[in-house]
């Protein structure tokens, strides 16, 4: 039996232990104060957080990405996951199961936006949100959007493993239908959350390629929503204090420059244009060239005019794409009697983009007159304003990148994201990570787990700071 230490020795031991604990607590508080930018007074639920304590489960995250990719209507390596399809419903269940495994409180709104919340110790404050989408256009890849949902859940789990406790609640959002594949409306879920009346009106008449209405499709997926329910999806501006989205760049800049993190400063907004020309058609051999009113050539001339007007803007940030060009009747020996174009124009400068649209419309009218065809439609849809990222969130993302010793650069997003519409609800920011050759929306889309893990760490630290503000 060991002898009992004398009382003075016990008192000395307890005193040294208390001093050591206090010193550790002071160091922890200093680390938190240095990153958060404000003094942390004692709160029992705020524990240590430092870059060295952030441990991303890369193996588990890659497994989740691969498992989610299996919910696809096309064989791997491609992914096809269309709104309210059977695979989409299964993928949604998978995301909700992961949220529950992370001990988040899960809810779902009328159109299928899914929310998983980690309650902070001042849960009455507006929460900090993060997230993206998991729907995938036909024959695309498995990282677009998915990194921002599964990566957000891993950021939450990383913070939990670090014994961090948020002041403001942290919420992960899986947005419904960021892609316009089925009903022609991009960022459907976030548009409705932002209270878009145009999206609400469009859905009332929306049908897919099989003439199935939006509401019938939603019902088949388990969402018994009617027209009157759509306005109830919208959120107030008090819902969140900030929103962040982690995403692959979908462009080659970060990879080519060897930069780990892209910090987005602005999101270019698209405007879509639908154009129809009507001509006379006729036999490809019998109708002589001077007598033709060729709707196909009118469309081809307008496609070239789009390129000309975009280049004439003088800005590299102005882009235009003729993504759809359809000819009727579509036979090699028949002069096209009708043509249909869909044009995508984007810019971070709304006025400059709208000037390009005006020039395209002027060209369409002139081409119709010159070629003796009818301009039966020129409709501008989804003419959304660009969005600027919040300076304080940009600063927080830069600070997180520096603290993690990750190279970073400020850049704009030429692709649109759900963040474009979340900016109407709260201050917004985006984190980009490199992707292989900038590939996206194709099976070759790829991001390394090292880059994904870096993005998760930057997201985690930024969420932590914003939750403490």
Question: Domains, the chain, ranges and CATH?
Answer: 51-268+387-468 (3.40.630.10), 269-381 (3.30.70.360)
Q: Output the six-digit token pair for 136.
A: 């995938």
User: In the structure, what pLDDT confidence band is assigned to residue 41 with cuts at 50, 70 and 90?
Assistant: very low
Q: What is the mean pLDDT of residues 1-22?
A: 48
305 Cβ neighbours under 8 A, 6+ residues apart: 359, 360, 363, 364, 367
Q: Output the six-digit token pair for 416.
A: 């649109």
The span from the CA of 389 to the CA of 264, in Å, is 7
Which is higher by pLDDT, 243 or 382? 243
pLDDT at 6: 54
Nearest to residue 346, comparing CAs of 253, 275, 412, 426?
412
Q: Model's pTM, two decimal places?
A: 0.83
| Number of Cβ within a 10 Å radius of residue 19 | 10
User: In the structure, what pLDDT confidence band is assigned to residue 50 with cuts at 50, 70 and 90?
Assistant: confident
User: In the structure, what pLDDT confidence band is assigned to residue 53 with cuts at 50, 70 and 90?
Assistant: confident
Nearest to residue 115, comparing CAs of 158, 169, 163?
169
63 Cβ neighbours under 8 A, 6+ residues apart: none
CA–centroid distance for 252 within its chain? 18
User: In the structure, what pLDDT confidence band is assigned to residue 10 with cuts at 50, 70 and 90?
Assistant: very low
The span from the CA of 77 to the CA of 136, in Å, is 13
Burial class (CB in 10 A: 0-12, 13-18, 19+), 221: middle
Condensed to tens digits (0 to 9), the pLDDT of residues 70-110 reads 999 999 999 999 999 999 999 999 999 999 999 999 999 99
Q: What is the mean pLDDT of residues 407-426?
A: 96
CA–centroid distance for 101 within its chain? 23
Cα four-point dihedral sign 195, 197, 198, 199: positive
């Amino acid at each position: 039996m060991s002898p009992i230490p004398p009382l003075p020795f016990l008192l000395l031991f307890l005193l040294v232990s208390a001093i050591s604990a206090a010193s550790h607590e002071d160091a922890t508080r200093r680390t938190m104060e240095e990153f958060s930018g404000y003094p942390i007074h004692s709160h029992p639920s705020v524990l240590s957080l430092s870059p060295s304590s952030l441990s991303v489960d890369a193996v588990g995250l890659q497994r989740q990405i691969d498992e989610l990719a299996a919910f696809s209507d096309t064989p791997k390596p491609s992914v096809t996951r269309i709104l309210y399809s059977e695979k989409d419903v299964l993928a949604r269940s998978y995301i909700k199961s992961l949220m529950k495994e992370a001990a988040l409180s899960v809810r779902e709104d009328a159109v299928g936006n899914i929310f998983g919340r980690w309650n902070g110790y001042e849960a009455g404050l507006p929460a900090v949100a993060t997230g993206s989408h998991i729907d995938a256009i036909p024959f695309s890849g498995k990282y677009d959007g998915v990194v921002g949902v599964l990566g957000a859940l891993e950021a939450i789990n990383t913070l939990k493993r670090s014994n961090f406790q948020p002041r403001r609640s942290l919420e992960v959002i899986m947005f419904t239908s960021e892609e316009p594949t089925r009903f022609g409306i991009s960022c459907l879920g976030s548009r409705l959350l932002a209270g878009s009346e145009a999206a609400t009106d469009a859905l009332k008449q929306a049908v897919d390629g099989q003439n199935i209405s939006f509401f019938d499709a939603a019902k088949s997926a388990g969402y018994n929503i009617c027209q009157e329910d759509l306005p109830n999806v919208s959120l107030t501006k008090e819902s969140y204090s900030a929103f962040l989205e982690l995403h692959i760049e979908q462009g080659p800049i970060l990879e080519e420059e060897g930069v780990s993190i892209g910090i987005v400063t602005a999101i270019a907004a698209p405007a879509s244009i639908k154009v129809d020309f009507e001509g006379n058609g006729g036999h490809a051999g019998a109708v002589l060239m001077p007598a033709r009113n060729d709707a196909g050539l009118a469309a081809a001339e307008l496609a070239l005019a789009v390129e000309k007007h975009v280049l004439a803007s003088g800005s590299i940030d102005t882009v235009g794409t003729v993504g759809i060009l359809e000819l009727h009747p579509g036979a090699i020996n028949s002069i096209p009697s009708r043509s249909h174009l869909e044009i995508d124009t984007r810019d971070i400068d709304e006025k400059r983009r709208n000037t390009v649209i005006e020039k395209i419309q002027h060209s369409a009218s002139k081409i119709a007159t010159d070629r003796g065809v009818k301009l039966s439609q020129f409709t501008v849809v989804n003419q959304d304003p660009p969005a600027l990222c919040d300076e304080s969130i940009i600063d927080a993302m830069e600070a997180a990148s520096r603290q993690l010793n990750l190279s970073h650069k400020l850049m704009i997003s030429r692709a649109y994201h759900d963040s474009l519409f979340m900016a109407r609800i709260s201050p917004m920011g985006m984190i980009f990570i490199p992707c292989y050759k900038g590939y996206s929306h194709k099976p070759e889309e790829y991001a390394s787990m090292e880059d994904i893990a870096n993005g998760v760490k930057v997201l985690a630290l930024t969420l932590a700071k914003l939750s403490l503000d």
